[in-house]
Amino acid sequence: MAFETIRYDIADDVATITLNRPDVLNSFNSAMHSELRAALKSASGKDGARALIISGEGRGFCAGQDLSDRDPDGGQVDFAESLDKNYNRLVRTLRSIEMPVICAVNGVAAGAGANLALCADFVIAARSADFVQAFIRIGLVPDCGGSYFLPRLVGRARAAALAMLGDKLPAETAAEWGLIWKCVEDDQVMDEALGLAARLAKQPTKALSLIRRALDASIDNTLDAQLDLERDLQVIATKTDDFSEGVKAFIEKRPAEFKGH
């Protein structure tokens, strides 16, 4: 599939999307939103991907909304529609897509670009990358799920400082704080992401997305509600071919060959 603002590749059941507007640090315009939606649809639909990597071309991961598309006087753009149609839809898709999502943060991630990364199941960042809740620098509030993910990942005090001060948080500190999974040397980011994706693409795909659902719900659930949810999700998992294969492989003392069904 040919795109102008992103690159999309699929190999060995791993879909890789590279945001490709490096001159503006891969900030979002409407074409990039719509091409990203099309690529995600292909990955989870006809291409049957079992793991997804999102990364950025050039020295940035993503700098959020392309501000050159915005009128400083607030005219012409319906911001509610922009969020509903683009950013909120993207967050909902990434949190419900039936495959694990890895963000390979190759460079600075700012505004909605930082929060796009936080939507992922795994964030692997280059040591030189920074995470910036840049919204406050232009008089905005975190969107793209930032005000949801930040306090849950790093606690209220650190979330408030990141969102209200808008300072750069180096990748290494982000990993120490638990905002992201891993910080690696710059030239290792894609190798790490590809290695992880290859491993995840051989795991029981349905169970991986059920795990995401369980973890997401656990933050707000009571123990009773979570136990009920675990029961319901386990019932779904036990109906997969991968569960049958896992049990058979265990009994036959051989490695399981999960197919993602």
Chain centroid to CA 114: how far?
A: 10
Q: With CB under 6 A as the contact rule, which of the stretches 31-39, 116-124, 137-145, 221-229 interacts with ligand T3D?
A: 137-145
Selected binder of ligand T3D within 1, 11, 67, 165 (CB under 6 A) = 67
Residues in the chain: 261
Selected binder of ligand T3D within 10, 40, 51, 132 (CB under 6 A) = 132
**Alpha helices for the chain (secondary structure H):** 30-44, 79-82, 89-96, 112-118, 146-154, 156-165, 171-177, 189-200, 205-218, 223-238, 241-251
State the nearest-atom distance from the C-beta of 126 to ligand T3D, in Å.
13
Q: Is residue 141 a contact point for ligand T3D (CB under 6 A)?
A: no
Selected binder of ligand T3D within 2, 45, 68, 75 (CB under 6 A) = 68
Token code pair at residue 29: 């315009």
Q: Is residue 138 a contact point for ligand T3D (CB under 6 A)?
A: yes
DSSP state of 65: B
From edge to edge, which strands make up the β-sheet containing 51-56?
6-11, 14-19, 51-56, 101-105, 122-126, 182-184
Residue 25 or 53 with smaller CB distance to ligand T3D: 25
Selected binder of ligand T3D within 39, 49, 112, 196 (CB under 6 A) = 112
| Closest-CA residue to 150 (of 106, 122, 114) | 114
Instruction: Dihedral sign for Cα 116, 117, 119, 120, please.
Output: positive
Q: Is residue 165 a contact point for ligand T3D (CB under 6 A)?
A: no
Q: With CB under 6 A as the contact rule, which of the stretches 62-70, 89-97, 172-180, 183-191 interacts with ligand T3D?
A: 62-70
Selected binder of ligand T3D within 140, 163, 198, 249 (CB under 6 A) = 140
Dihedral (Cα; 127, 37, 72, 167), 10-degree rounding: -20
Whether residue 23 contacts residue 62, with contact meaning beta carbons closer than 8 Å, is answered with no
Q: Is residue 135 a contact point for ligand T3D (CB under 6 A)?
A: yes
- Ranges within 72-111 binding ligand T3D (CB under 6 A): 79, 82, 108, 110-111
Q: Is residue 129 a contact point for ligand T3D (CB under 6 A)?
A: no
* Residues that bind ligand T3D in the complex, under the rule CB under 6 A: 24-25, 27, 63-68, 70, 79, 82, 108, 110-112, 132, 134-135, 137-138, 140, 143
